A = this chain, B = another copy of it.
Amino acid sequence: MTAQPPFERLPPGDDLGLGLRSGGRRWMNPDGSINVRRAGLPWFRPYELYHRLITMGGARFLALLLLGYLLANLLFAGVYLAVGMEHFLRPGGSGFADRFLDAFFFSAQTLTTVGYGHISPQSHLASAVAALESLLGLLSFALATGLLYGRFSRPHAQIRFSSHAVVAPYRGGTGFMFRFVNKRSNQLIEVEAAVVLSRLDPQTGARRFHTLALERNRINLFPANWTVVHPIDDASPLAGLDAAALRQINPEFIVLVKAFDDTFSQTIYQRTSYTAEDVVWGASFAPMTRTAADGALELEIGLVDGLILPG
């Protein structure tokens, strides 16, 4: 790049694109989602639909598939009834229920291309609809194949953050700390953390942002939990603040974590944020690891929130 212009240039880390924030509400939610609503998006957004389908719970996904299968068959059953079941070779009786169910199951046999043949189209019209349905069936299952693969191969969140941060003694001084753990058993590599404090400026009433210096911002392997520490020294924007003073500046600690999942060879990002309410003063984190009976080291995931309260 060319020589620096005579304008202030914030260190990259300092701009999280948080120029805006409405009222008192937090800017980022604990789950990492951001409180900015998008308006004017087209109502049909295939990529987001795809994303929702590969991220939704497995049970819900399966239910959707079943529902889709049911609806498609109902739809085509209707069409076949409209065409008239006399266009079909079929075993069933002539009552509506029989006609409907034969139509429905013929549709199912066509959509899945199982095509036993004991029910089969006799007229060209019926054949034409069936030809269309079998095509649709194959495409739907092609789509389902992609979705199922996408569900497993996509990068997926696997970090669990402690629900609270603490301000506690640290190496003679004090530190702002939180921790997180890999809640899955595959390894994360080259884990990086960054913390940005968004605070109210009492004078101007405007928000200011500070990247908090961390005792360490990167680890190569992440076998257990990592407690991220911001040492509160004189250089820290938290210097000299107590619980009350911290609430005063209505802070939001925005946490960004980046890691490489070598199981899927993908870079994953996760975010969270802590507000004054999420900070426990004087507490420290309870150990998450123990030596098991067989001498092996054991990490108890559920203890990530464990705090040892003062006094």
Contact = CB atoms under 8 A, between A and B. Distances in A.
Interface of A: 1-7, 9-13, 15-23, 25, 34-41, 45-48, 50-51, 58, 65-66, 69, 73, 89, 91-92, 98, 101, 105, 108-110, 112-118, 120-122, 124, 127-128, 130-131, 134-135, 137-139, 141-146, 148-150, 152-156, 158, 171, 173, 183-187, 189, 191, 194, 196, 210-213, 215-224, 226, 231, 233, 235-236, 256, 260, 262-269, 271, 289, 291-292, 295-303
A127 to B, nearest CB: 4
Nearest to A149: B146
A23 B130 contact: no
A294 to B, nearest CB: 9
Contacts of A171: 7
A224 B19 contact: yes
Contacts of A114: 109-110, 113-115, 130, 134
Q: Which 7 A-B pairs have the closest CB atoms?
A: A146-B149, A117-B117, A108-B131, A142-B145, A114-B115, A112-B134, A105-B127
A154 B265 contact: yes
B297 A36 contact: yes
A77 to B, nearest CB: 11
A265 B108 CA distance: 37
A186 B173 CA distance: 40
Number of copies: 4
A223 B301 contact: no
A7 B231 contact: yes
Please report whether the interface of chain A is mostly helix, strand, loop or mixed according to DSSP: mixed
A215 to B, nearest CB: 6
Nearest to A185: B38
Given A5-B213, A115-B115, A134 B149 contact: no
Nearest to A287: B20
A230 B52 CA distance: 38
A97 B131 CA distance: 17
A56 to B, nearest CB: 13
11 contacts: A1-B213, A3-B213, A17-B223, A20-B224, A41-B301, A105-B131, A112-B137, A113-B114, A155-B265, A189-B269, A262-B268
A274 to B, nearest CB: 16
Contacts of A295: 22-23, 25
A238 to B, nearest CB: 12
A215 B9 contact: yes
Contacts of A117: 115-118, 120
A291 B22 CA distance: 7
Contact of A118 (B35, B66, B120, B224): B120
Given A20-B289, A47-B186, 11 more contacts: A2-B213, A4-B213, A15-B218, A16-B220, A17-B222, A37-B299, A38-B299, A48-B186, A109-B130, A115-B115, A118-B120
